Structure formats: C-alpha cells, structure tokens
Amino acid sequence: MEDKRKCIDWNMWCESLNVAENYERVVGTDVSEAQLKLAMPHPRIRYFHTPLSITDGELVDLIGGENSVDLVTVATAVHWFELPKFYSLVTRLLRKPGGVIAVWGYYEIAASPIFYPIMKRFHVSTLPYWNPKIQYIFDA
C-alpha cells in the first residue's frame, strides 16, 4: 500500500532523511539557519527555518495546518524546547485519531572500548555545567 503520510521533524538533521523513506511528505525544521544550510536535499523533504520569533499560528500554517501531520519526531533536542508551548503545537498539528509523536535522545554511546571511557569521563566532569533540562535527554 502506498504511504501518503506526512511527518514533521522538529529539529532536522539525519532523521529527516530516514523518515523520508517511509513518508510521502516530510517537513524538517530548525531554529538555526546555519544548521538548515547543511541539510541534505531530498525530493520529499521541505526544510523550513522556524526562528523563535515565529508565532504559533504562523508555524502551524507553515507546516500545513491543524490535524495535518501523522508523525512528529524530535531527536536530542527536546531539552531546548519550551515544553508546554511545544506540546500545545504538537496537539494542534497531529491528526486525530492516530497521530504519533516520537521523542528520543542518545546517551552513553558505547561505540568502542576506547571511546566509551573517554566519553564517560567527559560526561561526568562536565555534567554540573549543563542545562539541567538535559535530563530529559538522558531519560528519553
């Protein structure tokens, strides 16, 4: 069956490309214009710069309107968001019923026995200086 679904990737990078394999339309957004300039082009992905100054109404219109999105993804960025505002926007955008939000983060990457202890030491020694909201990522 052909998949006509639409996904918004709230902080595009590599995950936009992954979801484009399964979704007909993908919208990748980021507050950073510099990050968007590095985004990989794909025929099914449209990238939008969404600065913090954009209003909720403008953002909903830009993405395609209320109840227009089947999947919202956020990878390792939710700690930057103003969560009540973000969840309110997601509620407006997701199709009802059936819309899905997927939020994840990475933590303690065990890529190799050499890399892991270095990352662990870096993490433990710098953690006191991180924004406390980083805990959302560790718990994701």
Ligand X SMILES: C[S@@+](CC[C@H](N)C(=O)[O-])C[C@H]1O[C@@H](n2cnc3c(N)ncnc32)[C@H](O)[C@@H]1O
What is the CB neighbour count within 10 angstroms for residue 10? 25
Q: Kindly tell me which residue out of 8, 20, 29, 47 binds ligand X, with binding defined by CB under 6 A.
A: 29
Is 77 an interacting residue with respect to ligand X (CB under 6 A)? yes
Is 23 an interacting residue with respect to ligand X (CB under 6 A)? no
Nearest-angstrom CA–CA distance, 96 and 32: 30
Encoding tokens for residue 21? 């394999």
**Three-class DSSP labels, 36-73:** HHCCCCCCCEEEEECCCCCCHHHHHHHHCCCCCECEEE
Q: Kindly tell me which residue out of 5, 6, 8, 10 binds ligand X, with binding defined by CB under 6 A.
A: 10
Q: Kindly tell me which residue out of 45, 81, 89, 93 binds ligand X, with binding defined by CB under 6 A.
A: 81
Is 11 an interacting residue with respect to ligand X (CB under 6 A)? yes
Cis peptide before 113, with omega less than 30 degrees from 0? Answer: no
Q: Kindly tell me which residue out of 31, 54, 60, 140 binds ligand X, with binding defined by CB under 6 A.
A: 31
Site stretch for ligand X (CB under 6 A), options 29-37, 39-47, 87-95, 114-122: 29-37
Backbone angles phi, psi at 14, to 5 degrees: -65, -30
Is 75 an interacting residue with respect to ligand X (CB under 6 A)? yes
Interacting residue ranges for ligand X, rule: CB under 6 A: 10-11, 13, 15, 29-32, 35, 50, 75-77, 80-81
